[in-house]
């Protein structure tokens, strides 16, 4: 599973952690419904999670579309707006769990957050 964060989103470290956790939970719950065996294999192999960054919100949205087009589980996190950002602000994209090659093909050029 990969989490991608727009580089222009400059919240506190705690905010990034919470937003990435929202993405991880949402993606896992969605994948359990449609890809139960894949989720179980992912869990048994260590439940790999990586946080990457993109430059802009547009890049994040384009990546979400490409991942969805590739048949991967995706979740764009929209913040409730209680703390650091306006309500509805897209903060993080969750991708997966899914086949590692499929995800790596989409995000292999991104840098760690």
86 is in which domain, residue-wise? 2-108
Q: pLDDT digits over 89-112, tens only?
A: 999 999 999 999 999 999 999 999
- 3-class secondary-structure state, position 68: helix
Structural domain total, the chain:
1
CA 33 → CA 6, 27, 36, 53, 74, distances in Å? 28, 10, 6, 28, 13
pTM of the full structure: 0.86
Q: Is the peptide bond between 97 and the residue preceding it cis, with omega within 30 degrees of 0?
A: yes
Q: pLDDT digits over 11-61, tens only?
A: 888 988 999 999 999 999 999 999 999 999 999 999 999 999 999 999 999
CATH for 36: 3.40.1490.10
Mean pLDDT of 57-76: 96
Q: What is the pLDDT of residue 103?
A: 95
Which stretches of 9-77 are DSSP H helices?
Answer: 13-34, 36-44, 57-69
User: How would residue 5 be classed by pLDDT, with cut points 50, 70 and 90?
Assistant: low
91 phi, psi to nearest 5 deg:
-115, -40
Q: Does residue 113 sit within a domain?
A: no
Which stretches of 35-109 are DSSP H helices?
Answer: 36-44, 57-69, 100-107
Q: Does residue 39 sit within a domain?
A: yes
| Cβ neighbours of residue 100 closer than 8 Å, sequence gap 6 or more | 48
């Amino acid at each position: 599973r990969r989490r991608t964060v727009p580089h222009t989103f400059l919240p506190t470290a705690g905010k990034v952690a919470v937003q990435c956790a929202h993405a991880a939970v949402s993606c896992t719950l969605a994948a359990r419904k449609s890809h139960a065996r894949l989720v179980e294999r992912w869990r048994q192999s260590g439940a790999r999670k990586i946080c990457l960054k993109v430059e802009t919100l547009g890049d994040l949205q384009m990546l979400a579309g490409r991942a969805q087009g590739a048949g991967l589980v995706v979740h764009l996190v929209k913040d409730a707006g209680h703390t650091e950002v306006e309500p509805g602000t897209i903060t993080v994209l969750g991708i997966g769990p899914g086949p590692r090659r499929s995800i790596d093909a989409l995000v292999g050029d991104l840098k760690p957050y």
